[in-house]
Amino acid sequence: GESVGLHLPTLSVQEGDNSIINCAYSNSASDYFIWYKQESGKGPQFIIDIRSNMDKRQGQRVTVLLNKTVKHLSLQIAATQPGDSAVYFCAETYFGNEKLTFGTGTRLTIIP
């Protein structure tokens, strides 16, 4: 079946360094992608999204890259801070689909 998955379940990064979290998707019909951040014991928080007519989108310290050729999505966090430590999920859907499909998540730990 269709799925969204992550390459790395855990990632440790030194504070101040940049981090990259990757996500692979298999549904070629997907045209909308979202990254969420989930801190321990809390609900997921929207970070940034991108539609399939774009390759790159930037937010505050975050950039999402979309490579439709290889069905790959990444989240780059610049100048990481201790507050960036969390689990990051990618999610995908397409126009007409009522549901989001979530990946398993990557745990990012920022080392002081």
Size of the site for another protein (CB under 8 A): 25
Using CB under 8 A, which residues numbered 36 to 65 contact another protein? Answer: 36, 41-46, 49, 51
Give the range of 21-29, 34-42, 54-62, 77-85 binding another protein by CB under 8 A: 34-42
**Does 34 contact another protein by CB under 8 A?**
yes
Q: Would you state the structure tokens that stand for residue 72, as one six-digit string?
A: 């790959």
b/e sequence 24-46, b meaning 16+ C-beta within 10 Å: bbebeebbebbbbbeeeeeebee
Using CB under 8 A, which residues numbered 71 to 100 contact another protein? Answer: 89, 93-100
**Does 35 contact another protein by CB under 8 A?**
no
